[in-house]
Structure 1
């Protein structure tokens, strides 16, 4: 027998479809027509959301109910998931797509709200931006969803879970692993499928698309609409929301998440990004008769292709900055550890206000002591050199203090900025690449013997704190 709640949800779903039908008919007559959601429908819909919130408040996990009370609410028919969140106007906003949300049971509605709140407390809105360089949206979204869905019950049937991913991608991913583990494994699996995102066409000619089905690749697109806010400030806002939501006992998994949020410094290992960027470096090809053409395998007259590319990696060092010899020596050791499985050529560029020295190295033993010149700092000369010499990847070690705008932007290669432990942030308005930080280290031995590095009261780059979410 249908409950009162189910009857209410069903009626609202029918209303939602009528609203969309009217909109689409009007848009065919006038493409400039904007979607207008009747106030009566909004009132009834959010009344239903209130009932879900009451259910959350009465649940043992009432943390989610109190968290939802603080959030702004909006209806969006253009999101490809039942719910979505972002941060706008100094507040977290939760969005609902009635065409997807109203098809859920009340328990599934609760779960999808919990799902969004777990993304927030996991700082995924910031983490997703960090992984834009070198990782596909699908890999990032699925990795984040695996992490939060591991702890949830009553999931919608289409939810991205560990079991679903292992089955659909023929993987054997382990449970309760950190986000970094999942995104790396998933991106590798997606790369093997050789799906070309640039060949995918958007079938929608409408700027205001109506979404009726769940799409894991687009489910977090709305995060891009969040206000531009630094991680420290967003973390402070999040901690205030958490404090106001913590009214009683909470599950152990949530308590662990909140503790890690409070204790984390929010820094992710830069070498993880370097590893991903190396895998994304475009390879030049050579023709071969030993392999069929991948796009036209039946054409025996067409040669296949093999990778014959030697990746040209530039490692730039800002010799004017506060990055220490110890930091750079340890970092360059890790650069070689990351690139050792690739056919590569590493060029060291020492620069302050101009390039002072350029030389190639095959191992850490070839790295020379830095020349003792301390001028001002300009990043542009390094980019001019990288552009001229057609580099594939530029890793720039600096304290971050230089121009606010590059006179020569990167052309055809990836850039990874690594800010020294004493540095604050990159002075450039546009980084044209990922920006990461080193962790402070202190080393007794200042010689460049990388096989015998001893530490005192500090950490190597391998000891950088990971955020296990």
Structure 2
């Protein structure tokens, strides 16, 4: 059986090269710049029979979720993708594409892994999340960050796969495992910015309009996502949930179950602490000038200095001391905040406010956090925003029971806002929030003890793995 499978693979690989050679000769004879590859129906039929065998193995595996998911997807062959497989969304379906020149060089287990890899991108909603970062990060940084995240959960990876270990070694980084996609992209981009050679422009131009790709290229592995049909975020999430529900028929690994629960129960909305991780990865870093790197926008102007990210994240954590947030909830939340921002060069200020600001002080660790002032006045949110507007901050996290003004008298300027509503709170009274709203109930309150040993520092807590991808 195994020998028969390998024989099929070998024959299909030979036929693929024959198809390419024929297309090359036709192009040469017509002296045409446009390269069209006619893939015979017979070849597609044989190729997808092989894929059916791979899919059968997936459906017989312990995590048969992937097999059922693949069964719902449309399939096609493209010789211009720079990875064994790729996905996008077309015609109300997810489509998986195969490049035979790369895919057929994998063994059977690696073929399964390549399919799992693409499905993990889908259920991690990377197709949506990457769009938010395109204007701030390079394609290479985004692609490597996404691949680090999904490959961490996969075995039998191809030798060229982008993994956490590979990136750490080749880019002299110390990235931690089980962090968010946004965390990785920011760290990788920083290292890319530190490199003296600016590779923008020329390399991309040289590779435009290629119709045949026989080698893996991490910078182009997700280019095909741009070919997806135009569809709003809500509808795409609904389609994804439908695919997930139809695929969830057996026992899954814990990381996969957590991802599925995130999609089903939260409709893709991250709990507040995971959302904060995402925000920290997207906060626009302050930049400093450097003479060791050319200016990105005008690389030929040697008189202009380039920019490097200094990664100074200024974070204000505001606490509504008049509300119903308990000391235990607040302490646990602050521990989460400090654990999250520790991965960044940050400065954090705690602001205590009821109807006016009572105290503001900086903290570097848990031991710097003071007991809350025992004052219970009325509630106004605007004083905190007035304070933040006068500081050069990147992010405001506001813990409150949600009851206060219906309209802010001060509009936030130049920073992101995350409202965190107490588990006993209902909703935010402010009609225009100018930011995102999350519930505090996602954080478990363990006990009153409040010391440094409670803070996760190793990156391996099982409660902080799969949902962060």
Normalised TM-score (structure 1): 0.61
CA contact (8 A) 2:421 2:437 kept: yes
CA contact (8 A) 2:271 2:438 kept: yes
RMSD of aligned residue pairs (Cα, Å): 5.9
CA contact (8 A) 1:121 1:238 kept: no
Once residues 432 and 82 of structure 2 are traced to their aligned partners in structure 1, the CA distance between those partners, rounded to angstroms, is 32
When residues 373 and 113 of structure 1 are mapped into structure 2, their CA distance, relative to the original with a 3 A threshold, is same
When residues 65 and 324 of structure 1 are mapped into structure 2, their CA distance, relative to the original with a 3 A threshold, is same
Once residues 416 and 91 of structure 1 are traced to their aligned partners in structure 2, the CA distance between those partners, rounded to angstroms, is 34
- Deviation of residue 94 (structure 1)? 1.5
Match of 1:5 among 12, 18, 23: 12
Cα-to-partner distance string for 1:271-326 (whole Å, 9 max, x where unaligned): 7845983997745779xxxxx96559xxxxxxxx9999986433345689886665
Match of 2:349 among 346, 351, 369: 346
- Deviation of residue 72 (structure 1)? 1.9
Cα-to-partner distance string for 1:137-181 (whole Å, 9 max, x where unaligned): 145223224324x4235x2x42224564454245788xxx96328
Cα-to-partner distance string for 1:38-88 (whole Å, 9 max, x where unaligned): 7x6374564244122232145375445543231023456665423222455
| 197-206 vs 107-116, which moves further | 197-206
- The match for 1:152 is 156
When residues 324 and 198 of structure 1 are mapped into structure 2, their CA distance, relative to the original with a 3 A threshold, is farther
CA contact (8 A) 1:404 1:429 kept: yes
**Structure 1: stretches of 5+ with no match in the other structure:** 28-34, 287-291, 297-304, 453-461
SS in 1 for 2:97: strand
1:55 to 2:53 alignment: yes
CA contact (8 A) 1:12 1:102 kept: no
Match of 1:71 among 60, 70, 73: 73
CA contact (8 A) 1:121 1:257 kept: no
CA contact (8 A) 1:395 1:417 kept: yes
Once residues 405 and 210 of structure 1 are traced to their aligned partners in structure 2, the CA distance between those partners, rounded to angstroms, is 53
Once residues 61 and 444 of structure 1 are traced to their aligned partners in structure 2, the CA distance between those partners, rounded to angstroms, is 39
SS in 2 for 1:389: coil
- The match for 1:114 is 116
Once residues 246 and 171 of structure 2 are traced to their aligned partners in structure 1, the CA distance between those partners, rounded to angstroms, is 37
CA contact (8 A) 1:143 1:183 kept: no
- The match for 2:361 is 361
- The match for 2:302 is none
Once residues 23 and 427 of structure 1 are traced to their aligned partners in structure 2, the CA distance between those partners, rounded to angstroms, is 66
SS in 2 for 1:348: strand
Match of 1:142 among 133, 147, 153: 147
Match of 2:280 among 277, 280, 303: 277
Alignment of 1:193-212 (within 5 A): 194-195=193-194, 201-203=200-202, 204=204, 209-210=209-210, 212=213
Once residues 77 and 426 of structure 1 are traced to their aligned partners in structure 2, the CA distance between those partners, rounded to angstroms, is 54
1:236 to 2:249 alignment: no
Normalised TM-score (structure 2): 0.61
CA contact (8 A) 1:285 1:306 kept: yes
- The match for 1:289 is none
- Deviation of residue 92 (structure 1)? 2.5
When residues 21 and 332 of structure 1 are mapped into structure 2, their CA distance, relative to the original with a 3 A threshold, is farther
Match of 2:93 among 91, 94, 99: 91
- Deviation of residue 360 (structure 1)? 1.9
When residues 397 and 24 of structure 1 are mapped into structure 2, their CA distance, relative to the original with a 3 A threshold, is farther
SS in 2 for 1:41: coil
Cα-to-partner distance string for 1:114-145 (whole Å, 9 max, x where unaligned): 33234446666577689999995145223224
CA contact (8 A) 1:75 1:95 kept: yes
- Deviation of residue 346 (structure 1)? 1.6
- The match for 2:299 is none
SS in 1 for 2:378: coil
When residues 331 and 161 of structure 1 are mapped into structure 2, their CA distance, relative to the original with a 3 A threshold, is closer
Once residues 124 and 392 of structure 2 are traced to their aligned partners in structure 1, the CA distance between those partners, rounded to angstroms, is 39
Alignment of 1:240-251 (within 5 A): 240-243=245-248
CA contact (8 A) 2:84 2:114 kept: yes
CA contact (8 A) 1:9 1:102 kept: no
Once residues 413 and 29 of structure 2 are traced to their aligned partners in structure 1, the CA distance between those partners, rounded to angstroms, is 48
1:179 to 2:163 alignment: no
Once residues 271 and 313 of structure 1 are traced to their aligned partners in structure 2, the CA distance between those partners, rounded to angstroms, is 16
Once residues 6 and 308 of structure 1 are traced to their aligned partners in structure 2, the CA distance between those partners, rounded to angstroms, is 48
When residues 275 and 122 of structure 1 are mapped into structure 2, their CA distance, relative to the original with a 3 A threshold, is closer
Once residues 82 and 336 of structure 1 are traced to their aligned partners in structure 2, the CA distance between those partners, rounded to angstroms, is 40
Query: How many equivalent residue pairs?
Result: 415
When residues 274 and 94 of structure 1 are mapped into structure 2, their CA distance, relative to the original with a 3 A threshold, is closer
- Deviation of residue 361 (structure 1)? 1.5
- Deviation of residue 237 (structure 1)? 2.0
Once residues 161 and 353 of structure 2 are traced to their aligned partners in structure 1, the CA distance between those partners, rounded to angstroms, is 49
**Structure 2: stretches of 5+ with no match in the other structure:** 1-6, 295-306, 363-367, 452-459
